[in-house]
Amino acid sequence: MNCSDCRGKRSWSYNCAGARTANPEGGRAGSDSWGRFADSHELSELVYSASNLLVLLNDGILRKELRRKLPVSLSQQKLLTWLSVLECVEVFMEMGAAKVWGEVGRWLVVALIQLAKAVLRMFLLIWFKAGLQTSPPIVPLDRETQAQSQDGDRSPGSREQSYVGKRSKRVVRTLQDTPSLHSRHWGAPQQREGRQQHEELSITPTPLGLQETIAESLYIARPLLHLLSLGLWGQRSWTPWLLSGVVDVTSLSLLSERKGLTRRERLELRRRTMLLLYYLLRSPFYDRFSEAKILFLLQLLADHVPGIGLVTRPLMDYLPTWQKIYFYSWG
């Protein structure tokens, strides 16, 4: 194919680099535009990682100020903090390693991060009996709720006390706190969300039996198994995709039989179940089956639904980047 045939087509911009170098003006403009596009992703990921780290640091300061410590030991809290830091910076570290050291450095950084995360999670599971591993490891503080609870603590008269039935779970307003007739609302009494969140965080994790521990260990080891299979069979092989899917499904099926999970643990299992849909967007399934259909659907929506192109066209441009970064699709 002649270079003039592929000029201006986005899908060929990565394959015609050699042909473009024959035309100095076209080649330089194309490479500069792609360089700016790639740099914009790295800069945005740096800002995103930094903001997450600031939120994590700020939450730690607020917890000390509000005396809302995590219901875990100091050593376990340090492990959770390091695990949270790794999850905040893993994508940026992968992108930075790829830019500085190339593909070899990128895969080395990915392997080291996944190994560190697996070791920390196994320590939490086996040594500290932390139960089901949730994401994020440390729940961010609800600042609005904390501010309201602080205001309520300063003005005791503004509190609305209520009683929750042990069997029916029905919320009933106490007689002492019944407002006057003109200011009374006939809905359910407002619950103290800050207190509920604090009580939920204070609940100890559900103890896991042997079957659940094996299932959680499989979930923790799945990234390492996937990386090992990638090294053995390559990125275009179906074996890593199938192996990872079997491990995820097996872990979920074993954990789904556990009764008496806390609300946060049930939400984590629901999140893992929804993440199974990501296998439709992971290579090689995406390359052979999903890509053409998804791009066709997005283009169809952009052409025929007014205004939707503002969302679908950037998404079409972003999908190749999402596929290229390991921690986006597999992390």
User: 29: number of CA atoms within 13 Å, CB side?
Assistant: 6
Helix axes 143-154, 193-202, angle to 10 degrees: 110
pLDDT of 82 reads 96
Q: What pLDDT is attached to residue 320?
A: 86
Cβ pair 217, 122 in contact under 8 A: yes
Residue-level pLDDT at 7: 39
pLDDT number for residue 42: 85
**Interacting residues of 314 by C-beta distance below 8 A, sequence separation 6+:** none
Which pLDDT score is estimated for 71?
A: 74
Three-state SS for 173?
strand
Closest to 221 measured CA to CA, from 115, 62, 90 = 115
User: Are the beta carbons of 161 and 177 closer than 8 angstroms?
Assistant: yes
pLDDT tens for each residue of the chain, 331 residues long: 444 444 344 333 334 333 433 343 444 344 444 444 456 778 889 999 999 999 999 988 888 877 667 778 889 999 999 999 999 999 999 999 999 999 999 999 999 999 999 999 999 999 999 999 998 898 887 766 655 555 555 444 444 466 666 666 676 666 665 555 545 555 555 544 444 445 455 578 889 999 999 999 999 999 999 999 999 999 899 999 999 999 999 999 999 888 888 888 999 999 999 999 999 999 999 999 999 999 999 999 999 999 999 999 989 988 888 888 888 878 6
Burial class of residue 84 (count of CB atoms within 10 Å of its CB; 0-12, 13-18, 19+): buried
- Cα separation, 311 vs 143, in Å, equals 30
Among 302, 295, 300, 296, residue whose Cα is nearest residue 319 = 295
At 146 the pLDDT is 58
Other beta carbons within 10 Å of 44: 11
Closest residue by Cα to residue 134 from 260, 226, 256, 271: 271
Record the pTM.
Answer: 0.74
